[in-house]
Structures are given as structure tokens and as C-alpha cells.
Amino acid sequence: MKSVILSMAVVSMFIANQAQAADAKAAEALAQKSGCLACHAVEKKVLGPSYKDVAAKYKGDKGAEAKLAAKIKAGGSGVWGPVPMPPHPQVKNEDIKTIVSWVLSL
């Protein structure tokens, strides 16, 4: 019985990991479609900071999602250097939320 429960737990974790991977791929595709990957990359600085650097900077910041969503919508400058980030008012709020959640999960 104990091994059956353990096996079920392993299967559940596997399914959850697969779902997270699919969600991450979908969010990355959404970032690509929205034009985010023209200036950002997951691992390295392009024009803007890498997404891993963004996640590290805002780790533990409870207001990070709202700050980053506003920054994407309105644009901004000065946080990561002199290159401004243009506004992206055409990106839907729910898409921005998905992208921000994905970035912060890195």
C-alpha cells in the first residue's frame, strides 16, 4: 500500500511538472508573439535585461507583478540603464500577467 501511495505521488509530481513546462512554453511563445524577445532573452542581456536577471532583481518583492505589468504597458527607463523600454499598450492585460508570472518564475 505504501508503494502504491508513493507511486501515485511520483506520478502526480510528474504530471504537475509537465503542466508547468507546458505553461512555461506557452508563456514564452506569448512573449515571442508580443515582441518581448526582440529586446530580451531568458539567459542573457540583449537590449534589455535577461529575464533571469529581472526575476532575481524582483525576487521577494510582493509588488513585482504589478510594477512589471505597469512597466510593460507604459514603458519606462532608468532601472536597467539608459535604453528606454517602449510602451506596449497593444498587449492584452491577461497576456501581460502571463508573461510577468513566467518571467518571475525563472
Q: Which residues are annotated as a binding site for heme c?
A: 36, 40, 85
Alpha-carbon distance of 98 to 7, in angstroms, equals 32
Numbered residues of the known binding site: 36, 40, 85
Alpha-carbon distance of 99 to 54, in angstroms, equals 12
Q: Give CA separation, 71 vs 1, 32, 60, 93, in Å.
A: 52, 18, 18, 12
